[in-house]
Structures are given as C-alpha cells and as structure tokens.
Chain A
Amino acid sequence: MTTPQIGKIHVTMTVNGTQVDGLVEPRLLLVHFIRENLQLTGTHIGCETSHCGACTVDLDGMSVKSCTVFAVQVDGANIMTIEGMANADGTLSALQEGFRMMHGLQCGFCTPGMIMRAHRLLKENPNPNEEEIRFGISGNLCRCTGYQNIVKAIQYAAAKLNGTEFKEAAE
C-alpha cells in the first residue's frame, strides 16, 4: 500500500506582519508550516488533538489551535504567533511582562499558546474578572503553574493596558 502522490499547493499568508508563502502538501498542518517551513518554533505541539492549546496562534482575529488546521485552509490569512508579540522596540509586551512579573510560567512550554490566547481574550474583554479569565483560557492546559499566577499575569497585563494600577504580587 502506498500513498498516492498529491500535488503541492501554493499558499500565501501574513505572519507577524510579514508576507510569507510556501509550496505545501494539502495535509500539512498549519503548526508544522509555522514551525518547520517558517522556523518560528515558539508555537508548540503538546497533544495533536486540540486539547492542550500549546499551538494556539491568532488567526484573523481569533484564537486558533494550529495543530488542527491545514496550512492550505489559511491561504490569505493574517496570523500572529508568539514571535510577533513583543513591542516594536523589542521590549516585552504587557502580557509577556505580566507572565514574568507574576510568575505565570515554569517550563515555558504552554506559555506561547497561553499568551496568544490571553492576547485575544484581552481584545475581546479588556477588563476580565477572574472567572472570565479562567473560562477564557480553559482551552489551554498548563501542567506546571496551577493557573493561579497565569490569572494574575493576565490581570497585570489588563491593568497595564488599561492604564490602571495592579497591586497584587505573584503568590
């Protein structure tokens, strides 16, 4: 039994503000296109079944798990990955800073997906309460932190982006 050869398809998309293209098999997953063709390895693979969210990217204004999307499905799309999150001057964005200040990460493997999800969450709801944050990130698994400091990291970022003060410390 051999697999029939399928022709490759040309895809073009904008990733982190740069237009990229590639000649891909129709079955190539977006996460592999990002990680292997574009060499943007910050987007991770943790389960291949869209449970863990380590592969979350921002796709045309939505949080999407890139392990269950084909690259050919997003032809023409606008994508942002963790590599596009820092401020233009290279400093950490409010969310990245929040994760560091609030100890919202340990092994760092879920962190890019978590930050990408939090980024979209704060666009949808700039001032979420704890319950809304917990619901908002429930598609992203973390095995290290127990989420408590991730919630604080997102609150920290929300406060910073809203120009208000966040007084709590990581715990």
Chain B
Amino acid sequence: MNDITLTREEREAKLEGLGCRRKRVEDIRFTQGKGNYVDDLKLPGMLHGDFVRSPYAHARIKSINKDAALKVPGVLAVLTAEDLKGVNLAWMPTLAGDVQMVLADGKVLFQGQEVAFVVATDRYAADDGVVAVDVEYEALPVLIDPFKALEPDAPVLREDIKDKMDGAHGPRRHPNHIFEWTVGDKELTDAAFSKAEVAIKELISYQRVHPSPLETCQCVCSFDKIKGELTIWGTFQAPHVIRTVVALIAKLPEQKIHVISPDIGGGFGNKVGAYPGYICAAVASIVTGKPVKWVEDRIENLTATSFARDYHMTAEIAATKEGKVTALRVHVLADHGAFDACADPSKWPAGFFNIVTGSYDFPTAYVSVDGIYTNKAPGGVAYRCSFRVTEAAYCIERAMDILAQKLGMDPAELRMKNFIKPEQFPYHSALGWEYDSGDYQTALNKALETVKYEDLRKEQAAKREAFRRGETREIMGVGVCFFTEIVGAGPSKNCDILGIAMFDSCEIRLHPTGAGIARMGTKSQGQGHETTYAQIIASEIGIPAEDITVEEGNTDTAPYGLGTYGSRSTPVAGAAIATAARKIKAKAQMIAAYRLEVHEDDLEWDVDGFRVKGLPEKFMSMKDICWAAYNSVPPGMEPGLEAVSYYDPPNMTYPFGAYVCVMDIDVDTGVYKVRRFYALDDCGTRINPMIIEGQVHGGLTEAFAIAMGQEIRYDETGNVLTGSFMDFFLPTAMETPHWETDYTVTPSPHHPIGAKGVGESPNVGGVPAFSNAVNDAFSFLGSTHIQMPHDFWRNWQAAKRLGVTG
C-alpha cells in the first residue's frame, strides 16, 4: 500500500535517511538525567574497590602490611600481587604484545601505579582502607627523559624482560628498548637526500597528553558462583574484545562472560584498553561472591589509565629549489611509559604512523620508530585519532611549513604544488598505503577563497612592518593545514587485535509491523550511533529511522565486533549496516514479487517499497513486505526478515580536510587570540550533517586544548605535575574559539555508501593548524619551530628567546 497523498520528496523526508539533520534519539534520556552510566548501577550487596597507588616513579617494594587496613570498619579484603599470583593474574597481557603488572609485583615503575586493591562495603570505607595500607618502598633511580632511555648507564626499568632481547615486534637493543619499526626505502631515500637541492631537518615533539573524557574509567563486576558466570558492566569502547581478553586471561569460558557497556560519558581512546581496575574488581567479586564496583577518580585517570602521544619526531624533507618534494625521512623516539600498552592493531607497533607522507606525492620516504620505556604511565592510546595518525599529521604539516619558510614560499602554495592529484587515486604512497579517493586542490582552494587568504597575507605583511617600526606589540599568524587521515581499521589482511580480524558487524531484524532493531558490534560514547545508524537503514530499505531501534554494548545480544575507536564505526560498522540491509532488501524483493505476482526483475525500488516497472499503481511498501514476511512468503522460503553482516573492509578510508587558523599574539604577555578558525572536512558521503558539525566542533576544541595548553608533565623525579583539572588544560566556553565548518564530498569508492568517518579529523587537522599559526606568527623573527603546547608562558618565552621582549 502506498500513501498516495505524499509526494516522493515527502516520503523521502519521512524516512529521515542519509543527509538528514535528524535530531538525536539519545537526547531524550540524556537531557532528563536518565542516561545509564556505569556508576549509576547499584546492585544488592555491592562492594567498592579502591587502589593503593605508588607515590614513587621507580621503587622497590620492601613490604606491604594490610593488618591495619583490614581492621578498618567496612573493609573486607586487601588484594596484592601475591594474592593475584594465586589465580595467575598478577600480570596481564597488553594489546601491544607486552605484559603489564595488574598490581605491583616487587617494584613500581610509575607514580600512581596500582599497588593494592582494597575492597569495602562503600566507597568511603574503601578510601579509609587505602590510607591504612602500609607500604614500604626503596626508591630507585628514575628515568623520565626519553632521550636518556637508551644510554648505556640508564636505569633498567623492566627487570622482568631485561635479558629478553627479542621483543613482540623484533629485536631490542637495550633493556629500555621496546622495538624498532621501520618502513619505506632507506637506500632510495638516503640517495635522494644526498642530491637534494634543499633540505630541512627539525625535531618536532608532540607532548604527552591525555584523552580525559568527563566520565572516568569504571566497572562493576558480578560473579555468580552458582552459574559460574561473570557479568561486567564497564566503560568499554570495545566490549567484545574485553570479553575475549577476560576469557583468555581469567581462563573463564567465553559464553559465561557477559560484558555490558551501558551509556559511556566520552571515550576518546581512553576506554579501549584493559586496566588493572577491571581485573581487580573481577577477582574481588570472585573472591567475595558479591558485585564489586571500581570507579577511578580524576587524579587516577590523569595519572594512571592511558596517555596519548609522547612522540619525538625528527623530520627531514628533501626538495628541489622550485619546491617539489623529493624525499621524506623521519625518526621517532616513542615514549611508551612503563609498559607498552598501546591499543594499536597487533602488527602495528607505531600504529599507522606511515601515513606521515600526508597529502603529498613523495617519490620516496623512510620512517624508523624506536619505542622505549620510561618511568611514566603506560599506554600510547589513540586519543581521538586513528592510531598515531595525529602524530603523523602534525609531523608532516609542521615540516611542510618549515620547508616553505626555507624556500621563501607561501605554505599554501607549497602544499598545492605537491598534492597528490585527483587523477592519481587510488594512490599508492611511498610508505605502503593505498589512498582511496581525494580532491585536495578543490578543498584547499575553497578554504583559501573563503578565508580570503591573500588578504590575510597582505595584512600580516603590513602588521610585521608595523611591528618592526615599533607601532604594535602584536604579531599575526596564519596557520594552514591540509591533512589526510587513514581510518576505518581495517582489512583483515593487515589489521587484527589479539589475532581477531578487525571486521565489524550488524544484525537487523524487522518486525511484522514494519519496525525493527539493529544490533551492532560497535559502541557509541557520544557519537550518536542510535541516531545515525538508523538513518543508513532508512535510506537502504525504506523503513523510517524512527521505527528502528539501534542497540549496542551487550555482548550477549550484539554480533561480535571490534568496537568504536579510530573513526572505524562508519567506515566498518556503517558498511556492515548497509550490507545487512541489502540482504534484507534482496529477500524483500522476492516477497514483493511473489505478492505482486511478477518476476522480481520486473520490480524497481522506489523510496520505501517496490514498484512494478511500468505499472506505477502496483506497489508494495516495505512495511507491507514486513508483514508478509511473517505470513505469506513464497513457497520454500523461510519466514522472517532479518540479516547479519560481518564486514571486512577491502581498504581503509582516507578522509581529508583544509583548515585555516588566524591568530594574534601579544609578544610581551604571550597572550594569543584566535581570530578565526575555518575547517573544511571531506568525509565522503555525509550521513547526518548536524552530527558531523558537532563532531568537528568537539574535535577542534580538543585540538585547541592540545596545541595551546594541554600536557601531562613530569618533574625529574617522576612526579606528575598535571594530575587534576587545575593543572591539566581543558578549555571552558570562555577560551574556546568560534568554529566555522565547511565541506566537500568525495565519496569513498569502496565503501557501500561512500562514507569515510569524521569524528577524529578535527583533532588530527586542528592541532597542526593551531601550531602552524603560532609558528607562522613568530617565523619572521627567525624561528623555525616552537614546541607545543603554545600556552601564554611558552609564547612569551619564545618571544624572549627571539629577542623581541624583555
């Protein structure tokens, strides 16, 4: 039955499918305080766990005395490494092929490390117990500076593997060395440099930062002794992976582990890994037979669970005098902290850092990365970026500006000159990737025209003259960034986690009345999957988005998936949705043909149903097909209308964008003002422009935080100096700039709906845009590179160093 009163456009609009600025489904509960986050869960008899943490960055543990703690009212147990050894859980494997202490075993390796786990009747009693645990330490020499890690007399941090010179990613050449990872053609690259007309070399550091979602990491573990089943509610970006990890390390049958990710209060990569808190809460529940909740506080979050970046990149570009790049060479010193707990696909110890050739046609390139241990928190998570992609983008985008400066060429012009051209796609980069699609020239031209780039440069030139004449104390910077990301991990041929291919999944079930449910292997942390996934289904099979429930995060009901990070939800799970929907559509077509008494080839799809070609009045809506699927399917066909798809992407996707930042800096105070920030993103097909723009605003704000102030900083003895929001910069509404967004659309040729992913682009592109603006402002004073973060103090320091302020 077709609602003949509606036009085609009205029927399309009713679906709220692709391209619709659909309001979010999630907001109804979130705006009323009815979200369901982990800490909201309260089970009968639930206990609370809390950690005793190390005040030292490196120390031997002489003794741990629990007696006083066990006398504290409400305290039921105190777990230490010795207790965990009984269940073989004192150490756990990391996703990066290393092992990590769950509780300190003999020594501590970073400040804030978990030493003992106190279990009590409520969170206050647990805190009392933590204070009462007496730990005796013997301080050891501390290694904080990554550049000293590989010196012959450096303190040996990891005594457990000090003689094991064959690591998870090949040979190690020092007890503090984790791996050396190389890619590209060294000989060809060295040769290109030896005959280079122009070359630049710069140490570009990307400081240690932290994703710090507003909700910290937390879980509730409940072990049912009768059934032998463990249920874990947790802030997990990848619930299925957590289930498999628990099965492997706790030796529990996987069907008896139920992992549930309820609503998550932001993730940004912080909630991908497995942390000691999860293991301890699970063990505590098994030991006590009661549910145990673990909620980290903000200081613990900033100090212990994951960090991002800490990449020290020495970048070199060779070029002709005319500004044509001929080679790229990068060496990275990667500080992984005390344990290699990166959440990268297994075969990629430096993530996808080899996207570092960026948007440019480098004939040859060579990259080497040395991973090292220091007395800092373990990790190396992908903070709102695909694995190490933001580091790579920062490196190349800064280096291109430095080259432009050396050549005396405009940085936008240099980029334009070296872009991969539209006709070169699919493009094979010197470092091994196949870029799917792009039109970089069009995007950059649109950006430059919108911001009136030439006028900005003229204004800057005039301001510089005025500065030289002493008429102003303000300098102006124009930061240009053109980034190319690599997201959507990933094809099973080169991406896995713990040996599990990085596919993703969707199961769609349509009900008799024409409504349905889609269950997913991913897990939203604010991205709005419940809204956007339904839009893909709506466009594919003509069921209004509002009639589709999207469910994620329950490993018992959802098909296996690898989770949400690295902008993989739309590229991988989004494709699984379209694929599952198309299976349903194929069956629906057979049902419609049977009911309309024609051959299925005589049918054509029309918005929300099938129509007989040439007979417009003969139409069967998807809603009616749903009903028919449950009572009158063709002979021999199974009833029902559902499908599941496990999508193994043929390639990654390569979103790109052109960002311009205009900034003014007062040299006497270092105070900066972001005058304008323009962000053009090309994420292929746009599913929900409202959500895309929201993602871009948020990612740019995180980029602003990183570039202009954020840092996890340690003193020389390993004390964390930025352990609360007092010291760790999160911008408020006051300092956050106004964002201008724009777009071009270059669909991905291999993705079923042409979408590429967007959530992380603004962080990847935003950081270099800000940093380039600051560096551009100072460049006329003879500076080539100023390290991030560019806070007021460092800007003032830079001005002082350059001799323009007292």
CB within 8 A of A2: which of B23, B72, B699, B741? B72
* A112 to chain B: closest residue by CB: B33
> Residue-by-residue, is A128-150 near B (CB-CB < 8 Å gives 1, otherwise 0)?
00000111011111111111111
Q: Please measure, in the bound complex, the distance between the C-alpha atom of A135 and the C-alpha atom of B735, giving whole angstroms.
A: 10
Contact assessment for B733 and A3 in the assembled complex, using a CB-CB cutoff below 8 Å: no
Contacts of A145 in B (CB 8 A): 694, 697-698, 701
Q: Is A109 an interface residue (CB 8 A)?
A: yes
Contact assessment for A146 and B736 in the assembled complex, using a CB-CB cutoff below 8 Å: yes
Q: List 25 A-B contacts (CB under 8 A).
A: A25-B124, A41-B40, A47-B298, A48-B298, A82-B32, A92-B28, A92-B32, A96-B32, A97-B31, A105-B27, A106-B266, A106-B526, A106-B698, A107-B263, A109-B526, A134-B734, A143-B702, A144-B694, A144-B698, A146-B701, A146-B736, A146-B739, A147-B697, A171-B693, A171-B741
Q: Please measure, in the bound complex, the distance between the C-alpha atom of A93 and the C-alpha atom of B694, giving whole angstroms.
A: 22
Contact assessment for A146 and B24 in the assembled complex, using a CB-CB cutoff below 8 Å: no
Contact assessment for A108 and B26 in the assembled complex, using a CB-CB cutoff below 8 Å: yes
Q: Is A86 an interface residue (CB 8 A)?
A: yes
Contact assessment for A107 and B526 in the assembled complex, using a CB-CB cutoff below 8 Å: yes
Contact assessment for B690 and A143 in the assembled complex, using a CB-CB cutoff below 8 Å: no
Contact assessment for A81 and B33 in the assembled complex, using a CB-CB cutoff below 8 Å: yes
Contacts of B40 in A (CB 8 A): 35, 41
Contact assessment for A141 and B725 in the assembled complex, using a CB-CB cutoff below 8 Å: yes
Q: Is B268 an interface residue (CB 8 A)?
A: yes
Q: Is B595 an interface residue (CB 8 A)?
A: no
Nearest first, the 8 closest Cβ-Cβ pairs linking A and B are A42-B33, A107-B526, A109-B265, A108-B30, A82-B33, A146-B697, A146-B701, A51-B725
Contact assessment for A147 and B21 in the assembled complex, using a CB-CB cutoff below 8 Å: no
Q: Is B350 an interface residue (CB 8 A)?
A: no
Q: Please measure, in the bound complex, the distance between the C-alpha atom of A97 and the C-alpha atom of B21, giving whole angstroms.
A: 16
Contacts of B168 in A (CB 8 A): none
Q: Please measure, in the bound complex, the distance between the C-alpha atom of A54 and the C-alpha atom of B213, giving whole angstroms.
A: 12
Given contacts A107-B215, A107-B525, 5 further A-B contacts (CB under 8 A): A2-B132, A44-B215, A47-B298, A144-B266, A147-B697
Contact assessment for B32 and A83 in the assembled complex, using a CB-CB cutoff below 8 Å: yes
Contact assessment for A100 and B265 in the assembled complex, using a CB-CB cutoff below 8 Å: no
* A133 to chain B: closest residue by CB: B733
Known A141-B732, A171-B741; contact A54-B214, beta-carbon cutoff 8 A: yes
* B738 to chain A: closest residue by CB: A148
Contact assessment for A39 and B42 in the assembled complex, using a CB-CB cutoff below 8 Å: yes
Contact assessment for B68 and A2 in the assembled complex, using a CB-CB cutoff below 8 Å: yes
Q: Please measure, in the bound complex, the distance between the C-alpha atom of A45 and the C-alpha atom of B35, giving whole angstroms.
A: 14
Q: Please measure, in the bound complex, the distance between the C-alpha atom of A150 and the C-alpha atom of B37, giving whole angstroms.
A: 22
CB distance from B132 to the nearest CB of A (A): 5
Q: Is A168 an interface residue (CB 8 A)?
A: no
Q: Is A161 an interface residue (CB 8 A)?
A: no
Q: Is B700 an interface residue (CB 8 A)?
A: yes
Q: Please measure, in the bound complex, the distance between the C-alpha atom of A92 and the C-alpha atom of B28, giving whole angstroms.
A: 8
Contacts of A1 in B (CB 8 A): 68, 131-132
Contacts of A63 in B (CB 8 A): none
Q: Please measure, in the bound complex, the distance between the C-alpha atom of A110 and the C-alpha atom of B526, giving whole angstroms.
A: 11
CB distance from A142 to the nearest CB of B (A): 7
Q: Is A49 an interface residue (CB 8 A)?
A: yes
Contact assessment for A46 and B215 in the assembled complex, using a CB-CB cutoff below 8 Å: yes
B669-722 contacts to A (CB < 8 Å): 690-691, 693-695, 697-702
Contacts of A54 in B (CB 8 A): 214
Q: Please measure, in the bound complex, the distance between the C-alpha atom of A141 and the C-alpha atom of B212, giving whole angstroms.
A: 11
Q: Is B264 an interface residue (CB 8 A)?
A: yes
Q: Is A156 an interface residue (CB 8 A)?
A: no
Q: Is B724 an interface residue (CB 8 A)?
A: yes
Contacts of A27 in B (CB 8 A): 124
B710-766 contacts to A (CB < 8 Å): 724-726, 730, 732-734, 736, 738-739, 741
Contacts of A158 in B (CB 8 A): none
Contacts of A171 in B (CB 8 A): 693, 741
Give the number of residues in A that approach B within 8 Å (Cβ atoms): 66
Known A44-B37, A47-B298, A169-B21; contact A135-B31, beta-carbon cutoff 8 A: no
Known A2-B72, A108-B263, A138-B732; contact A83-B33, beta-carbon cutoff 8 A: yes
Contacts of A147 in B (CB 8 A): 697, 701, 732-733, 736
Q: Is A62 an interface residue (CB 8 A)?
A: no
Contact assessment for A85 and B32 in the assembled complex, using a CB-CB cutoff below 8 Å: yes
Contacts of A144 in B (CB 8 A): 266, 526, 694, 698
Known A42-B32, A148-B738; contact A2-B214, beta-carbon cutoff 8 A: no
Contact assessment for A105 and B31 in the assembled complex, using a CB-CB cutoff below 8 Å: yes
Contact assessment for B697 and A148 in the assembled complex, using a CB-CB cutoff below 8 Å: yes
Q: Please measure, in the bound complex, the distance between the C-alpha atom of A96 and the C-alpha atom of B72, giving whole angstroms.
A: 44
CB within 8 A of B23: which of A40, A101, A108, A143? A101
Q: Is B640 an interface residue (CB 8 A)?
A: no
Contact assessment for B33 and A51 in the assembled complex, using a CB-CB cutoff below 8 Å: no
Q: Please measure, in the bound complex, the distance between the C-alpha atom of A3 and the C-alpha atom of B126, giving whole angstroms.
A: 12
Known A52-B725, A141-B725; contact A108-B35, beta-carbon cutoff 8 A: yes
> Residue-by-residue, is B122-165 near A (CB-CB < 8 Å gives 1, otherwise 0)?
01100010011000000000000000000000000000000000
Q: Please measure, in the bound complex, the distance between the C-alpha atom of A42 and the C-alpha atom of B698, giving whole angstroms.
A: 22
Contacts of B528 in A (CB 8 A): 106
Q: Is A103 an interface residue (CB 8 A)?
A: yes
Q: Is A66 an interface residue (CB 8 A)?
A: no
Contacts of B128 in A (CB 8 A): 2-3
Q: Is B73 an interface residue (CB 8 A)?
A: yes
Q: Please measure, in the bound complex, the distance between the C-alpha atom of A46 and the C-alpha atom of B733, giving whole angstroms.
A: 17
Q: Please measure, in the bound complex, the distance between the C-alpha atom of A151 and the C-alpha atom of B736, giving whole angstroms.
A: 12
CB within 8 A of A49: which of B72, B263, B693, B726? B726
CB within 8 A of B726: which of A32, A51, A142, A149? A51
Contacts of A151 in B (CB 8 A): 733
Contact assessment for A143 and B212 in the assembled complex, using a CB-CB cutoff below 8 Å: yes
Q: Is A111 an interface residue (CB 8 A)?
A: yes
Contacts of B31 in A (CB 8 A): 92, 96-97, 99-100, 105, 108, 111, 115
Q: Is A43 an interface residue (CB 8 A)?
A: yes
Q: Please measure, in the bound complex, the distance between the C-alpha atom of A28 and the C-alpha atom of B385, giving whole angstroms.
A: 39
Contacts of B34 in A (CB 8 A): 42
Q: Is B98 an interface residue (CB 8 A)?
A: no
Q: Is B406 an interface residue (CB 8 A)?
A: no
Contact assessment for A49 and B298 in the assembled complex, using a CB-CB cutoff below 8 Å: yes
CB distance from B191 to the nearest CB of A (A): 46
Contact assessment for A103 and B24 in the assembled complex, using a CB-CB cutoff below 8 Å: yes
Contact assessment for A105 and B30 in the assembled complex, using a CB-CB cutoff below 8 Å: yes
Q: Is A5 an interface residue (CB 8 A)?
A: yes
CB distance from A8 to the nearest CB of B (A): 12
Q: Please measure, in the bound complex, the distance between the C-alpha atom of A152 and the C-alpha atom of B741, giving whole angstroms.
A: 16
Contact assessment for B698 and A51 in the assembled complex, using a CB-CB cutoff below 8 Å: no
> Residue-by-residue, is A64-92 near B (CB-CB < 8 Å gives 1, otherwise 0)?
00000000000000000111011000001
CB distance from A113 to the nearest CB of B (A): 9
CB within 8 A of A146: which of B35, B700, B734? B700
Q: Please measure, in the bound complex, the distance between the C-alpha atom of A109 and the C-alpha atom of B262, giving whole angstroms.
A: 13
> Residue-by-residue, is A1-41 near B (CB-CB < 8 Å gives 1, otherwise 0)?
11101000000000000000000010110001001100111
CB distance from A58 to the nearest CB of B (A): 13
Contact assessment for A46 and B697 in the assembled complex, using a CB-CB cutoff below 8 Å: no
Contact assessment for B32 and A100 in the assembled complex, using a CB-CB cutoff below 8 Å: no
CB distance from B745 to the nearest CB of A (A): 18
Q: Please measure, in the bound complex, the distance between the C-alpha atom of A103 and the C-alpha atom of B30, giving whole angstroms.
A: 12
Q: Is B71 an interface residue (CB 8 A)?
A: yes
Q: Is A170 an interface residue (CB 8 A)?
A: yes
Contacts of B28 in A (CB 8 A): 92, 100
Q: Is B549 an interface residue (CB 8 A)?
A: no
Contacts of B298 in A (CB 8 A): 46-49, 52
Contacts of A101 in B (CB 8 A): 23
B9-33 contacts to A (CB < 8 Å): 21, 23-24, 26-33
Q: Please measure, in the bound complex, the distance between the C-alpha atom of A133 and the C-alpha atom of B131, giving whole angstroms.
A: 42
CB distance from B76 to the nearest CB of A (A): 15
* A93 to chain B: closest residue by CB: B31
> Residue-by-residue, is A104-128 near B (CB-CB < 8 Å gives 1, otherwise 0)?
0111111110010000000000000
Contacts of B725 in A (CB 8 A): 47, 49, 51-52, 141
Contact assessment for B27 and A109 in the assembled complex, using a CB-CB cutoff below 8 Å: no
